[in-house]
Amino acid sequence: KKSDKDKEIPVQDFTTCDATQQMITKGRLDGVDTAFDRAANMKACPIGADSACCKHCFMGPCRLNAKDPYGKVGVCGATIDTIMARNFARMVASGAAAHTDHGMSMLDLFREVVNGKIKDYSIKDTQKLEAVAQSIGIETEGRSAKEIAVELYEALESTYTAVEGEIPFAKRVPPKTLETWRKHGVVPRGAMREIMEIMHRTHMGVDQDYTNITKQCSRTALADGWGGSMVATEISDILFGTPSPVSIEVNMGVLKEDQVNIIIHGHEPNLFESMIESVNEPTFIEAAKAAGAKGINLAGMCCSGAEVLVRHGIPHAGNFMSTEAVLITGAVDIMAVDVQCIKQGLVKVAECYGTPLITTNPRCRIEGATHIEFNDHEPKKSTDEIVIKAISRFKNRKAKVQIPQNVNIGVHGFSHEYINYMLGGSFRGSYRPLNDNIINGRIRGVAGVVGCTNPRVKQDHVHIELVKELIKNDVLVLQTGCSQIALAKAGLTTPEAAHLAGPGLREVCETVGMPPVLGLGSCVDNSRILIAASEMVRIGGLGDSIADLPVAGCAPEYMSEKAISIGHYFVASGVYTVFGVTFPIVQGTRFHKHLFEELETMGFGKWGFAIEPQEIARLMINHIDKKRQALGLDK
Ligand code: SF4
Ligand code: MSK
């Protein structure tokens, strides 16, 4: 039962997504609560928001005063800088753990496919297999795919397990950037080691120098971006195919009243890949018809959706803040989830509409949901069972169905390989034309706009207005995750959106036939942006390190610890990265100065913060212009 307090708040203040607005309105009439309502009814804790509290031991918890940060210390004597740095480090550790565990699952699957123990999946992209192997110095000439894959597996395992040395993908880092990392001792070893060390160092009574803690934040975050996340992306491409652009429908209108609707939500692609097989089984299609449906309709949400949107052109029903709203349609016959960004609140909403909510991963069970475990060794066993349940729910649908008719068509699937191809004219093309267009000023710079949606700000609004402002100023925008879906719903992922771009970017888009906003995939696919940046350095003309490039990043509506890890690996890689909503550090403290100023002087990127889209755009564009000037591109 919802409280009355938020009933006054117009739904337009919660979200710019029309379909989600319609569903919140319906939810209000049905007496159903969503995270929007809960956020309106629960003020964020002001002490936690500033990260001014510590509960790392039981002499505390200790609460400092953000308004007088140096007026007090914790019982152990910990200063505000130590407390904030330790809290920040643990967010990085948690976010990095999520991505690296995801990557490790993909690597486990790859190992079992390569050694023949799993036969339901296979290596789909041998060209990518060879390219990844070559990138870390594995000989491919005259060798079979199996031989290459065995050696690649062994090498990539050290991304997680290496107790010393450097992770394999450090070989892809531009030499000058790597030199900076080596100088500051932040080249990552295996992720397990780095995450373990961060947890040790942030224990009570260990590392109490915020600059030293920040070093381990950088090392751990880099083990995510250039390690766990990059392995997740590359192995998923090898197993399931490297994305290339597809035109596809996005938004809640992809649900179909007269079909069995199945939604997959979460992050790892293997569940979804198996579900694609299951829904195409003729026996299930027949069974769905026998139950009175016209067919089976499969759609994705969040990053699970982003993975298959770019690889297979499966429709996407909406981003993080629409996952409860989509259930309010009454049209979802089953929602199956795996890991990450799955709100516990889904259970109640699903229950209200008689939609089975299925957990599938042993790492993520939710009280009140049904668990049907997914196993890579017999994947279809669980996805078949889920389809059967969905058909049965369709047959017995009791909830009134109301599907918002919003559908947007956009082009997605710009892997860095495809960007190469698109701009360079061959699959082994080059970023030369991109660099040339930046040098001649048609493209002012490149921005990565990524990340979640968050009920503390109007859903999609900051993403959309920020991206519009960037492209208007000739900044090419690369996107992943929930942000990409926000822009797709706003119609900016189409080549026609080029008319919203400044004259230079518009000319490039029209010549190539590409949108001014390029969707690259899921959150782990932020690694594609790192590779694109490395390629831009390698091609030349834009400096020697990633920190020299006229680029900037942003997660304007972030909500997760994963986003903090992503933000910090971009910063450690040399990118100015602006976050919106809130930033968990007290302004005016030494730790704040370290992250927002000093890291840049050490050869890294730096953090930035602003809430309003125009202000974020101004910060990013100013930074791009500063880098252009330093390169001598704008006299
Ligand atoms: Fe308080 Fe120090 Fe314990 Fe943190 S570690 S709770 S600051 S006494
Ligand atoms: S799903 S981490 S809400 S982007 Fe990757 Fe979206 Fe953020 Fe989850």
Q: Over the stretch 607-629, which tens digit does the pLDDT of each residue have?
A: 999 999 999 999 999 999 999 99
CA separation for the pair 454, 472 (Å, rounded): 25
Residues 190, 161 contacting (CB under 8 angstroms): yes
Residue 183: count other Cβ atoms within 10 Å of its Cβ. Answer: 11
Question: Looking at the structure, do residues 93 and 125 belong to the same domain, yes or no?
Answer: yes
Q: What is the pLDDT of residue 1?
A: 47
For residue 10, is it within any domain? Answer: no
CA separation for the pair 312, 245 (Å, rounded): 10
Please give the distance, rounded to the nearest whole angstrom, from the Cα atom of residue 321 to the centre of ligand 2. Answer: 10
Residue 459: count other Cβ atoms within 10 Å of its Cβ. Answer: 28
CA separation for the pair 555, 576 (Å, rounded): 12
Q: Which residues of the chain have pLDDT under 50?
A: 1-2, 427
Please give the distance, rounded to the nearest whole angstrom, from the Cα atom of residue 454 to the centre of ligand 2. Answer: 10
Question: Crossing angle of helices 145-161/191-201, nearest 10°?
Answer: 10
Pocket of ligand 1 (CB under 6 A): 54-57, 59-62, 74-76, 78, 83, 204
Question: Looking at the structure, do residues 490 and 604 belong to the same domain, yes or no?
Answer: yes
Nearest alpha carbon, ligand 2 atom 7: 452
Our answer on whether the CB atom of 560 is closer than 6 Å to any ligand 2 atom is yes
Q: Which residues contact 344 (CB under 8 A, 6 or more apart)?
A: 366, 367
Mutation probe of ligand 2 site: the residue of 102, 560, 564, 581 with most atoms within 8 A of C-beta: 560
Of 362, 395, 428, which residue constitutes the final position of a domain?
395
Question: Looking at the structure, do residues 299 and 367 belong to the same domain, yes or no?
Answer: yes
For residue 405, is it within any domain? Answer: no
Please give the distance, rounded to the nearest whole angstrom, from the Cα atom of residue 84 to the centre of ligand 1. Answer: 12
Question: Looking at the structure, do residues 504 and 368 belong to the same domain, yes or no?
Answer: no
Mutation probe of ligand 2 site: the residue of 17, 324, 482 with most atoms within 8 A of C-beta: 482
Question: Looking at the structure, do residues 228 and 286 belong to the same domain, yes or no?
Answer: no
Residues 87, 561 contacting (CB under 8 angstroms): no
For residue 34, is it within any domain? Answer: no
Closest atom of ligand 1 relative to the 75 alpha carbon:
8
Q: What is the pLDDT of residue 310?
A: 85
For residue 62, is it within any domain? Answer: no
- In the numeric block, which tokens belong to residue 578? 């602006």
- Secondary structure (3-state) at 495: helix
Identify the helix (H) or strand (E) that includes residue 89.
Answer: helix 80-114
Please give the distance, rounded to the nearest whole angstrom, from the Cα atom of residue 320 to the centre of ligand 2. Answer: 6
In 28-187, at which residue ranges do the beta strands (DSSP E only) sit? 53-54, 62-63
Q: What is the pLDDT of residue 634?
A: 84
Of 219, 240, 261, which residue constitutes the final position of a domain?
240
Of 240, 274, 297, which residue constitutes the final position of a domain?
240
Mutation probe of ligand 1 site: the residue of 57, 72, 207 with most atoms within 8 A of C-beta: 57
Q: What is the pLDDT of residue 593?
A: 98
For residue 7, is it within any domain? Answer: no
Question: Looking at the structure, do residues 430 and 301 belong to the same domain, yes or no?
Answer: no
Question: Looking at the structure, do residues 606 and 461 belong to the same domain, yes or no?
Answer: yes
For residue 260, is it within any domain? Answer: yes
Residue 219: count other Cβ atoms within 10 Å of its Cβ. Answer: 23
Measured at the CA of 307, the angle between CA 98 and CA 352, to 5 degrees, comes to 80
Q: What is the pLDDT of residue 488?
A: 95
Note if the bond before 269 is cis, omega within 30 degrees. Answer: no
- In the numeric block, which tokens belong to residue 107? 């690597």
- Secondary structure (3-state) at 410: strand
The CATH code of the domain that includes 193 is 1.20.1270.30
Which ligand does the CA of 78 lie closest to? Answer: 1
For residue 19, is it within any domain? Answer: no
Question: Looking at the structure, do residues 226 and 257 belong to the same domain, yes or no?
Answer: no
Please give the distance, rounded to the nearest whole angstrom, from the Cα atom of residue 633 to the centre of ligand 1. Answer: 50
Residue written as token pair 């906003």: 517
Which ligand does the CA of 562 lie closest to? Answer: 2
CA 11 remoteness from chain centre? 26
Q: What is the pLDDT of residue 427?
A: 45
Q: What is the pLDDT of residue 418?
A: 84
For residue 26, is it within any domain? Answer: no
Q: Provide the domain limits for residue 377.
A: 252-395
Our answer on whether the CB atom of 492 is closer than 6 Å to any ligand 2 atom is no
Q: How are beta strands 607-609 and 576-579 bridged, if at all? A: parallel
Number of domains in the chain: 3
Q: What is the pLDDT of residue 559?
A: 97
Which ligand does the CA of 454 lie closest to? Answer: 2
The CATH code of the domain that includes 389 is 3.40.50.2030
Question: Looking at the structure, do residues 540 and 607 belong to the same domain, yes or no?
Answer: yes
Please give the distance, rounded to the nearest whole angstrom, from the Cα atom of residue 525 to the centre of ligand 1. Answer: 37
Q: How many CA atoms lie within 13 A of 228 on its CB side?
A: 34
Question: Looking at the structure, do residues 575 and 456 belong to the same domain, yes or no?
Answer: yes
Question: Looking at the structure, do residues 416 and 557 belong to the same domain, yes or no?
Answer: yes
**Which residue from 437, 439, 523 is spatially nearest to 480, judged by alpha carbons?**
523
Question: Looking at the structure, do residues 101 and 199 belong to the same domain, yes or no?
Answer: yes
